[in-house]
């Protein structure tokens, strides 16, 4: 009975369900999953793959009892190459979870504290930023710094889509933020919250200042290597780990255009990672299982989503404190990771377009939430 609500919501959202008797294209099921959930995910993959504005999708659900790995549509529209469940996608702002993990690890080790000021680590940059001497690392992590988000500037976004191969340094991204807009509010203003990619570009620079290594090296030594994430890397900052599938955009209308050549330095520590579903599931299980920290209080602090708009420290909740993770979008890609805390289950949706119907991800959340029913 706990799945009835979910199935009803599928029809309410206009997503057709295909019989669970036929496997979805590319679906692999290991262990035991309820037939209702398998059928729901099969139908979601099929309906997503048949959407004219959505090239392809990889959809995974990993539970203690079993795993569903499905894929549909095309990784390359021109060559009609099918998406595979373990294909690599740009993961956009899921990168923020990795950046936040490193900052929290450095706090555990005593290298820094979340109450450190931006000026303590980046004095020259802080001098150029309004309130730069007052902003704390905690405020950057929680998007309560008030620092302008450079991707909120339509002029900047238009420039990126017009010249997607343009490279940026982190310092140039901060300059873009300063040139494009004013602070949203004073840092730490009561109840104030505004999501800003600039916050995580600044945190990336703090990581480099605190460790003496590049962000790419730090991700690899602290997260990728210990967890065996062989398909995850920081795009345009280190050699690619395998082939990246094609990403498409029809921003402004018209036909889908291949924008895979977009230079990810425009997102860096805020959104430049490439990964695949198995690696993301491994990362989520390690993170929410407490394996990446020494002190349970560290994970508790990260997952306290009462700060603003259901956001914690590099982690967001999906209208339910038991459903944690992050979503992300970059030119050509849209992604979501959701971890069901009581059920210790992870869902990952990877789509190779930046123009994705929101109901696709909404249904994923509902499906995962039903497992806790």
Q: Which regions of the chain does DSSP assign to beta strands (E)?
A: 28-31, 56-62, 66-76, 81-82, 89-90, 233-234, 248-249, 257-258, 273-275, 316-317, 323-330, 333-340, 345-351
CA–CA separation, 213 and 230 (whole Å): 20
With 0-12 / 13-18 / 19 or more C-beta atoms within 10 angstroms meaning exposed / middle / buried, residue 79 is: exposed
CA–CA separation, 275 and 244 (whole Å): 9
Q: Which residue, 151, 263, 127, is CA-closest to 199?
A: 151
Name the catalytic one among 19, 47, 50, 93.
Answer: 93
In this structure, the dihedral spanned by the alpha carbons of residues 52, 56, 61 and 67, taken in order and rounded to 10 degrees, is: 120
Assess contact for 62 and 279: CB atoms under 8 A. Answer: no
Pairing of strands 233-234, 248-249: unpaired
- Region at 300 (left for phi over 0; alpha for psi -120 to 50; beta for the rest): alpha
Q: Which residue, 343, 342, 314, is CA-closest to 33?
A: 343
Assess contact for 110 and 135: CB atoms under 8 A. Answer: no
Q: State how far the alpha carbon of 199 is from the alpha carbons of 99, 144, 145, 233, 241, in Å.
A: 11, 9, 8, 21, 27
327 catalytic? Reply is no
Assess contact for 91 and 328: CB atoms under 8 A. Answer: yes
Task: Round the CA-based radius of gyration of the chain to a whole number and report it.
Answer: 20
Hey, is 225 helix, strand or coil? helix
Number of helices (H), then strands (E), in the chain: 14, 13
Q: Quickly tell me which residue has 């997952």 as its tokens.
A: 303
The residues pairing with 353 across neighbouring beta strands, listed in sequence order, are: 248
Q: For the residues of 60-85, what is the DSSP string, one character each? A: EEE-SSEEEEEEEEEEETTTTEEP-T
Catalytic residues: 93
């Amino acid at each position: 009975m706990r799945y009835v609500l979910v199935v009803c919501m599928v029809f309410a959202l206009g997503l057709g369900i295909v019989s669970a008797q036929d496997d979805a294209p590319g679906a692999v099921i290991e262990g035991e999953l309820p037939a209702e959930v398998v059928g729901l995910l099969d139908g979601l993959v099929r309906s997503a793959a048949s959407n004219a504005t959505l090239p392809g999708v990889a959809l995974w659900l990993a539970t203690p009892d079993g795993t569903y790995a499905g894929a549909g549509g095309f990784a390359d529209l021109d060559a009609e190459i099918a998406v595979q469940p373990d294909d690599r996608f740009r993961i956009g702002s899921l990168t923020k979870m990795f950046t936040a993990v490193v900052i929290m690890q450095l706090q555990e080790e005593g290298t820094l504290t979340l109450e450190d000021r931006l000026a303590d680590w980046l004095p020259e940059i802080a001098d150029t930023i309004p309130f730069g001497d007052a902003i704390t690392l905690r405020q950057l992590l929680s998007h309560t710094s008030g620092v302008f988000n450079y991707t909120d500037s339509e002029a900047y976004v238009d420039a990126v889509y017009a010249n997607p191969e343009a490279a940026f340094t982190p310092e140039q991204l901060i300059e873009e933020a300063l040139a494009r807009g004013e602070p949203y509010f004073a840092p730490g203003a009561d109840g104030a919250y505004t999501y800003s990619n600039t916050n995580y570009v600044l945190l990336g620079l703090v990581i480099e200042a605190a460790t003496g290594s590049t962000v790419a090296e730090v991700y690899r030594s602290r997260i990728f290597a210990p967890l065996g994430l062989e398909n995850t890397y920081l795009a345009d900052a280190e050699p690619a780990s395998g082939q990246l599938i094609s990403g498409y955009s029809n921003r402004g209308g018209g036909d889908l255009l291949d924008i895979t050549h977009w230079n990810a330095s425009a997102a860096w520590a805020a959104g430049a990672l490439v990964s695949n579903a198995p690696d993301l599931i491994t990362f989520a299980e390690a993170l929410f299982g407490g394996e990446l920290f020494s002190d349970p209080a560290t994970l508790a602090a990260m997952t306290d989503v009462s700060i603003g708009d259901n956001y914690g420290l590099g982690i967001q909740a999906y209208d339910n404190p038991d459903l944690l993770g992050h979503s992300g979008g970059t030119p050509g890609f849209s992604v979501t990771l959701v971890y069901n805390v009581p059920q210790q289950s992870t869902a990952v949706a990877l789509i190779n377009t930046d123009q994705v119907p929101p109901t696709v991800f909404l249904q994923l959340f509902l499906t995962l939430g039903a497992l806790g029913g």
